[in-house]
Amino acid sequence: MNMWLFLLLLIFVGCAQPNAPVAAPIVAAPQTLAAPSPTHTPTFTPTATQTPTPTPSPTNTATPTPTPTATAPAIPVLGNPRTAVLQPPTPQSNAICGVVDTLDFPMDPPNGDAVASGGRDFGVYRSRYDKYHAGEDWWQSRGQSNFGLPVYSIGHGQVTYAQPLGWGRDQGVVIIRHTFANGRSVLSFYGHLDPPSVTLKAGACVTRGQKIGEIGKPRTPPHLHFEMRTHMPDEPGGGYWPVDPTLAGWLPPSQTIWHTRMATAVGVTWARPFSEGDSKGIGLIDPTTMAVIEDGQLIGLDIASGAVRWRHEGPEGDIMNAMLDQARGQIFLVNRRSLVAAYALEEAPTGTLPADEPLWEMDVSAAGGPMLLPLPDGGIAVAGWRLITAISHSGQLLWEQEIARLPSSWTLFNDQLLFSTSGTQGGVWLADADGAAYWEGLKDGRLQVVGDQLWHYDGAGIYRLDPETRTVEPLIVLPVSYVGASGFIALPGGGALLAHQDSADRRLLYFDNDGALLWERSYARQVNGRPNLFLVGERPYLLTQDDRSGASYLSLYAIDLDDASLNHIFTGGTRSPISGNNWALPAGDLILIQVGGGSMVGLDPKAAEAAVQQ
């Protein structure tokens, strides 16, 4: 491939690693590790850094099958989770203007994609007023005047206040009450409106997306001041508050809109309010409890309700990563200072949780991580940017090995841990309790166990690997892609599914156990964002993350392998994204979806799919 074309491709697809700590989205699955063995007294005697064991260069044993087309046939995309919830504003006894079906944004609805700025300055302290901003300032364009741009009602509701000069020199104000099916209500506030455009009267009914005014010319440059609150239905207020506005009845507007949209989506059984901190899904700690890292603590979430059952601070707090060993009844935790600890799992009235005191602790050098990978006979490998350290389940330091970068993919195969790393010295490593060996000649990529075989996808093709003989069998050649812009999973019924993105196309490819291509379909025009693939039971799902206009969107599609089609069943998002904090995990019959900077939901994918197909 022409070098300039390759560099343009790298710029196009970006350089985030979906399996690395800074990546997005993160899709993980709980791991079941090796069977229990007797526990020994922990020892902490360091061992010398090992030299990689030389291995023969890979040998090609077959001629690969090329991808049959430069661009694949388009994949059908069925369903629409938004239209599945939309309802007309039917009057109710507690809401004469109808109840809320969902909420949209006040400029360029439904999503506000054309808005250059808005959704991130709620609660900001401004010294010129010596107060905190009680709303959000929305600007559709920073380079041109926003005067006269339309403003829309975010949902069905009843006007409680409308005055062309409600803010005097700062012009018109409209306030609307929105009532939900459960009787709860909120108020939306629109300020700095052009006085002649304010024609609504108190008591009038409005519908979601109805124009309610236009941006005027206040003392500041023209923009919309937008609030959501639970008080003052018939008075404007000042737009600022002496302390945190959430303590006095204001809500973060954009976060509240997205939380409402996700909570009312079809198939959603519960929604947790947005969190400003980092989170990471770990896996099911028992059939009813999901282990999640949130704001530096390990928490146990009731998967049926989303309620927090328990919290655990781990070794000296500030937990960075965790890994479950269900077979031995242990969980390994590591904090940001690379202190690793193992805890016994104990049953309690609030569900299975880690014991208060660790079985053992150990300091390791894992700067830039740390990641936790399972060893095939129990124990963990703790990986940082330049070093990986192996520790037995009983706390014995087994070995240390220098590596190029953090692992980007790993799998267990035939009593070995295999992992790949990126960078100029990236490639594939094989590890067990005795040490790690570098498999020279392989590039960084995604590793999957397909049936009884080990497959490797490196962005330019898929290969079947034999670690025992160190041989490589090419299965298919693909247009060169960046591995970080892909998804690759093994299917429980046999074969594998690949989401591949190159300069000409973005496509799904479905293979049988022998590596034969069963079908390929393009999703380039129907689906936006970086892909990731995961399973719930035997059903594969495609999760995409699309970042644009200061917002982040996660969309979930059920994949029908027989019909080669996608069913769009969920979309979530935020206007205050946290990079690398998006993930989805299977949890029994549900999928837990976390939107970084937004909310977490428990989604019943079967119920969602049935609803969008109606």
- pLDDT tens, position by position, 535-585: 999 999 999 999 987 899 999 999 999 999 999 999 999 999 988 889 999
Comparing C-alpha atoms, which of 524, 560, 513 is closest to residue 541?
560
67/216 same-domain check: no
Determine the average pLDDT of the residues in 174-198.
Answer: 97
Confidence of residue 35 (pLDDT cuts 50, 70, 90): very low
C-alpha dihedral, 446 to 323 to 576 to 593, nearest 10°: 80
Tell me 506's DSSP state.
E
What 139-142 contacts at long range (C-beta under 8 Å, 24+ apart), as own/partner pairs, is 139/115, 139/223, 139/224, 140/107, 140/108, 140/114, 140/115, 140/116, 141/116, 142/116, 142/117
Bridge-based pairing state of the strands 387-391 and 380-383: antiparallel
Q: Per residue in 205-236, pLDDT tens?
A: 999 999 999 999 999 999 999 999 999 999 99
401, part of any domain: no
558, part of any domain: yes
63/181 same-domain check: no
Q: How far apart are the first and last CA of the chain?
A: 46
- Name 130's Cβ contacts closer than 8 Å, sequence gap at least 6: 242
How far apart are the C-alpha atoms of 563 and 551, rounded to whole Å?
33
- Of 204, 229, 261, which residue constitutes the final position of a domain? 261
- Of 220, 246, 261, which residue constitutes the final position of a domain? 261
Number of domains, the chain = 2
Confidence of residue 369 (pLDDT cuts 50, 70, 90): confident
Q: What per-residue confidence (pLDDT) applies to 3?
A: 37
437, part of any domain: no
Residue 5 pLDDT > 70: no
Report residue 82 as tokens. 């938004």
Gyration radius (Cα) of the chain, Å = 27
Q: By percentage, how much of the chain surpasses pLDDT 70?
A: 88
- Of 261, 286, 319, which residue constitutes the final position of a domain? 261
476/586 same-domain check: yes
**CATH code at 141?**
2.70.70.10
Q: Per residue in 384-424, pLDDT tens?
A: 888 999 999 999 999 999 998 889 999 999 999 999 998 77
70/160 same-domain check: no
Q: What per-residue confidence (pLDDT) applies to 559?
A: 98
134/240 same-domain check: yes
Q: What per-residue confidence (pLDDT) applies to 66?
A: 54
235, part of any domain: yes
564, part of any domain: yes
562/496 same-domain check: yes
Mind giving me the DSSP string for 457-498?
A: E-SSEEEEEETTTTEEEEEEE-----GGG-EEEE-TTSSEEE
Which stretches within 97-245 are classed as H helix? Answer: none
CB 556 within 8 A of CB 570: yes
383, part of any domain: no
Confidence of residue 365 (pLDDT cuts 50, 70, 90): confident
How far apart are the C-alpha atoms of 279 and 296, rounded to whole Å?
8
Question: How high is the mean pLDDT of the chain?
Answer: 88
147, part of any domain: yes
Determine the average pLDDT of the residues in 243-261.
Answer: 97
Q: What per-residue confidence (pLDDT) applies to 509?
A: 97
73/175 same-domain check: no
Q: What per-residue confidence (pLDDT) applies to 304?
A: 96
81/179 same-domain check: no
Lowest mean pLDDT: which of 30-39, 148-157, 571-580, 596-605?
Answer: 30-39
Q: Per residue in 48-71, pLDDT tens?
A: 334 344 444 444 445 555 554 678
205/146 same-domain check: yes
How far apart are the C-alpha atoms of 600 and 607, rounded to whole Å?
18
What is the dihedral sign for C-alpha 452, 456, 461, 466?
A: negative
Q: Per residue in 16-28, pLDDT tens?
A: 333 333 233 334 4
Confidence of residue 296 (pLDDT cuts 50, 70, 90): very high
524, part of any domain: yes
How far apart are the C-alpha atoms of 173 and 167, rounded to whole Å?
7
Domain region containing 535: 57-85+445-614
75/166 same-domain check: no
Q: What per-residue confidence (pLDDT) applies to 586?
A: 96
How far apart are the C-alpha atoms of 111 and 573, rounded to whole Å?
9
How many residues are there in the chain? 614
Q: What per-residue confidence (pLDDT) applies to 69?
A: 65
How far apart are the C-alpha atoms of 152 and 154, rounded to whole Å?
6
